[in-house]
Amino acid sequence: MGKATKQAHLLEKAMALMSLNLRISYRTGRDDLVKEFFIPCLEESVLYRRAAGYFTSAGLALAARGVASLASRGGKMRLVVSPHLDPDDVRALQSAVDHPADVLRAIVAKGVSDIEDALIRDRINALAWLAAAGLLDIKLALRLGTDGEFSRGIFHEKTGIFTDSNGNHVAFSGSSNETAGGLVENFESIKVFCSWHDNEGRVQEEIDNFEALWNNSTPGLRVMDFSAAGKELLDRFRDPDRPPAGLSVGRVQEPGPPTEFRLPRGVELRPYQIDAIRAWSSAGGKGILAMATGSGKTVTALTLASKVAERNRPLVLIVVCPYINLCRQWIREMAAFGLHAVACFEGRARWQSELEEGYQRLSVGLSQVHAIVTTNATFQSESFQASIRPRVTASSTHHLLIADEVHNLGAEHIKVALPDEITMRLGLSATPERHYDAIGTSAVLNYFGGVIYEYPLSQAIAEGRLCRYRYYPIPVVLTDDETDTYQEITTKLTKFFHGGTRNEEIQDAAMKLLIRRARLLAGASNKLDALDQVIASLQVPPKKAIFYCGDGRTTDAILDEEVRQIQAVARLLGERHGLRVRNFTYQESPQDREEILRDLESGFLDGVVAIRCLDEGIDLPDLRMGFLLASSTNPRQFIQRRGRLLRNAPGKNRAIIYDFFVRPPDLGGKLNDDAFNMERDFFQRELRRIVEFCRMAENGAEALHSLHDLRLEYNLLSE
Over residues 419-429, the pLDDT tens digits come to: 999 999 999 99
More confidently predicted of 425 and 151: 425
The segment with the largest mean pLDDT, out of 357-366, 673-682, 707-716, is: 357-366
Are the CB atoms for 628 and 657 separated by under 8 Å? Answer: yes
Query: What stretch of H or E contains 334?
Result: helix 324-336
Are the CB atoms for 289 and 297 separated by under 8 Å? Answer: yes
Q: Work out the pLDDT band at 113, boundaries 50, 70, 90.
A: low
More confidently predicted of 576 and 59: 576
Q: Is 60 exceeded by the pLDDT of residue 13?
A: no
Over residues 521-568, the pLDDT tens digits come to: 888 889 999 999 999 999 999 999 999 987 766 655 554 455 678 888
Q: Is 80 exceeded by the pLDDT of residue 74?
A: no
Positions of CATH 3.30.870 in the chain = 13-244
Query: What stretch of H or E contains 374?
Result: strand 369-375
Over residues 618-673, the pLDDT tens digits come to: 666 578 999 999 876 667 777 778 888 888 877 788 999 999 999 888 765 666 66
Tell me the C-alpha distance between 694 and 705, whole Å: 10
More confidently predicted of 37 and 108: 37
Q: Work out the pLDDT band at 683, boundaries 50, 70, 90.
A: confident
The single-letter DSSP state of residue 4 is H
Q: What is the 3-state secondary structure (H, E, C) of 23-75?
A: CCEEEECCECHHHHHHHHHHHCCCEEEEEEEECCHHHHHHHCCCHHHHHHCCC
Q: Is 90 exceeded by the pLDDT of residue 87?
A: no
Q: Is 80 exceeded by the pLDDT of residue 608?
A: yes
May I ask the CATH class of domain 13-244?
alpha beta
pLDDT, position 114:
61
Evaluated on CA atoms 614, 615, 618, 620, the torsion sign reads: positive
Q: Which fold has domain 271-461?
A: Rossmann fold (3.40.50)
Q: Is 70 exceeded by the pLDDT of residue 484?
A: yes
pLDDT, position 250:
53
pLDDT, position 445:
95
May I ask the CATH class of domain 467-713?
alpha beta
pLDDT, position 4:
46
Tell me the C-alpha distance between 501 and 489, whole Å: 17
Over residues 212-256, the pLDDT tens digits come to: 999 999 888 888 888 888 887 787 777 777 777 666 555 555 555
Evaluated on CA atoms 345, 349, 351, 355, the torsion sign reads: positive
What would the mean pLDDT of 360-386 be, rounded to a whole number? 92
Cis, peptide link before residue 314, omega less than 30° from 0: yes
Q: Is 50 exceeded by the pLDDT of residue 9?
A: no
What would the mean pLDDT of 332-360 be, rounded to a whole number? 88
Q: Is 50 exceeded by the pLDDT of residue 63?
A: yes
What would the mean pLDDT of 100-114 be, rounded to a whole number? 73
More confidently predicted of 267 and 552: 267
Residue type, 526: N
pLDDT, position 286:
97
Q: How many CB atoms lie within 10 A of CB 500?
A: 7
Three-class SS of residue 609? strand
Are the CB atoms for 583 and 570 separated by under 8 Å? Answer: yes
Percentage of residues of the chain with pLDDT beyond 70 = 84
Tell me the C-alpha distance between 200 and 215, whole Å: 24
pLDDT, position 361:
87
Q: Work out the pLDDT band at 512, boundaries 50, 70, 90.
A: confident
Tell me the C-alpha distance between 63 and 71, whole Å: 14
Q: Is 60 exceeded by the pLDDT of residue 139?
A: yes
Residue type, 311: R
Q: Is 80 exceeded by the pLDDT of residue 587?
A: no
Q: Work out the pLDDT band at 156, boundaries 50, 70, 90.
A: low
Over residues 277-332, the pLDDT tens digits come to: 999 999 999 999 999 888 889 999 999 999 999 999 899 999 999 988 889 889 88
Tell me the C-alpha distance between 676 and 685, whole Å: 14
Are the CB atoms for 402 and 379 separated by under 8 Å? Answer: no
Tell me the C-alpha distance between 22 and 303, whole Å: 53
Are the CB atoms for 569 and 547 separated by under 8 Å? Answer: yes
pLDDT, position 181:
30
Tell me the C-alpha distance between 517 and 496, whole Å: 14
Q: Is 90 exceeded by the pLDDT of residue 699?
A: yes
C-alpha distance across the termini of the chain, in Å:
96
Tell me the C-alpha distance between 595 and 184, whole Å: 11
pTM: 0.70
Are the CB atoms for 90 and 150 separated by under 8 Å? Answer: yes
DSSP letter for each residue of 198-261: -TT-HHHHHHHHHHHHHTT-STTEEEEE-HHHHHHHHHTT--TT-PPTT--GGGPPPP-SPPP-
Positions of CATH 3.40.50.300 in the chain = 271-461, 467-713
Over residues 158-215, the pLDDT tens digits come to: 789 999 988 999 999 875 433 333 333 344 678 999 999 888 899 999 999 999 999 9
Query: Considering the chain, what is the average pLDDT of its residues?
Result: 82
CA angle (220, 224, 227) in 5-degree steps = 150
Residue type, 265: R
Tell me the C-alpha distance between 239 and 601, whole Å: 33
Best CA proximity match to 114, nearest among 386, 346, 293: 346
Q: Is 90 exceeded by the pLDDT of residue 106?
A: no
Least confident of 485-494, 552-561, 687-696: 552-561
Best CA proximity match to 321, nearest among 289, 351, 343: 343
